[in-house]
Amino acid sequence: MANNQNTQKIEQFLFRRGGKYTVIAGSICIIHLIYLFFFYKIGLLAMSIYNIFCISGYFFFLAEAYKGNRIKDFSYYILFEIPLHSILCTIFVGYEYNFMLLLITAISIVFYFGLFLDCFKRPIFFSSIVAIIYYILLIGCKHYLSFHTPLYTGFKNANSYSDFFGYFNLSVAIIGITFFDILLAIEYGYIKNKLVSENSKLDNYATYDPLTNLLNRRSADEKLNQLFDAHYHDEDAFSVIMCDIDKFKLVNDTYGHDAGDYVLKEVAWILKDTVRDEDIVSRWGGEEFLIIVNNNKANAAILAERIRAQVEAHTYKYQNLELRVTITLGVSSFHANSDINSLIKSADQKLYRGKENGRNQVVA
C-alpha cells in the first residue's frame, strides 16, 4: 500500500504540468554548474563562458517548464546543447576524459522526447536519424583527435581535475541513461494505467445506465440472447417482467425533471433490492424497467407482486414534498422454440393491459 502511494505521488509530480521537465532542466543545470566551477579552476575560460550561457538557458527553460510553457523548445535546446557541449569539451581537452559519453546519454534523451513529446512527426524514424548523427559525431571527434592535439594543453597538468572529469563524465552518462530509462518505464506504466482506467470507464458507460446504475438496454439484450442460446429448447426456463412507473410524465411536468430523476433512482434501488442475486434488472428506456428472472412465470409473477407492493409502500421524499409512486408490471415466460422479440412483446402487451385496467397491478 505504501509503495503504491509513493508511486502515485511520484507520478503526480512528474506528470503534472511541466513536472518532469522541471526535474530534467534542474538536473542538467546542476551538472553545468559543476562543469563551470572546474573549468574555471583549471583556467579554461572559453568553456567557462560557454557553460554560463548554457546555465542561463536552462534557468530560462526551468522557469518556463515549471509553468508548463515552451516544453518542445526546451527539448530542442537539450538535443542541440548536449552534443555541442560534448564536442567542444572533447576538442578542447581530448577524447580520453569521457566527454563524448554524454552523446550516448543524448541518444536516450532523443528517443524519450521523440516518443512522448511529439518532437517529430515520425518519432521512431527521426529519433533513429538523430541518434545516428550523434554516433557519427562521436566517431568524427575520435578521428579528428587522432590527427590533432586538443586546443587546451594545460589540462594534462591538472592531474586531479583530469581524473575527476573522467569519472564524473562516466557517472553522468550512466546515471543519465538510467534516469531516462526509469522515466520511460514510469511513463509507460502511467499511460498504461490511464488507458486501463479510461477503458474501464468506457465499458461502464457502455454497460450501465448512468442515472440508475442498472444495466442499460443493450446489455439487457445481450443477457437475453445468452439465455436464449442456453435454453431455446427449454419450456418456461426464464421469464421477463416489464415495469413502467405510473403517471411518470405528471411527476416531471408538476415537480420538474430533477424530481423525476429522484423517482427513477428510488424505484431502481427498490427493484435491485427486491430481486434475487441471479436475476437481472435493467433500465429499458425512459421510465420502463426490464427484469430477467431465472425462473418460471408463476414465480416471476410472485416476484412482480412483491416489487409492486414495495414500490407502493416506499416513502418518496423529494425536498419538502412527499410523492406517491406506483408501478404496473407485465410478466411473460419464455416458451420453447419461440424468440426474444415475442417474449418482450408479450410482457409489454400485458403491461399496457394493466395500464388500461387502472394501473398499480401485475398482469401475468
- 3 state DSSP class of 361: coil
**Amino acid letter at 172?**
V
Residue corresponding to grid cell 579554461: 44
Neighbours of 304 (CB within 10 A): 27
Please name which of 205, 13, 180, 11 lies closest in space to residue 109, comparing C-alpha atoms: 180
How many residues would you count in the chain? 364
Residue 160 in contact with residue 168, Cβ under 8 Å? no
Q: What cell numbers appear for 215 in the block?
A: 444495466
Residues 6+ apart with CB under 8 A from 180: 105, 108, 109, 112
Q: What cell numbers appear for 131 in the block?
A: 541518434
Q: What cell numbers appear for 30 in the block?
A: 546542476
Q: What cell numbers appear for 11 in the block?
A: 507520478
Question: Would you say the C-alpha torsion 141, 143, 147, 149 has a positive or negative sign?
Answer: positive
Residue 333 in contact with residue 339, Cβ under 8 Å? no
Task: Give the N- to C-terminal CA distance of the chain in Å, as an integer.
Answer: 53
Catalytic residue among 222, 287, 288, 312: 287
DSSP state of 96: G
**Amino acid letter at 118?**
D
Is residue 222 flagged as an active site residue?
Answer: no
CA-CA distance, 205 to 46, in Å (whole number)?
63
Neighbours of 95 (CB within 10 A): 17
Residue corresponding to grid cell 448512468: 210
CA-CA distance, 360 to 364, in Å (whole number)?
13
The catalytic residues are 287
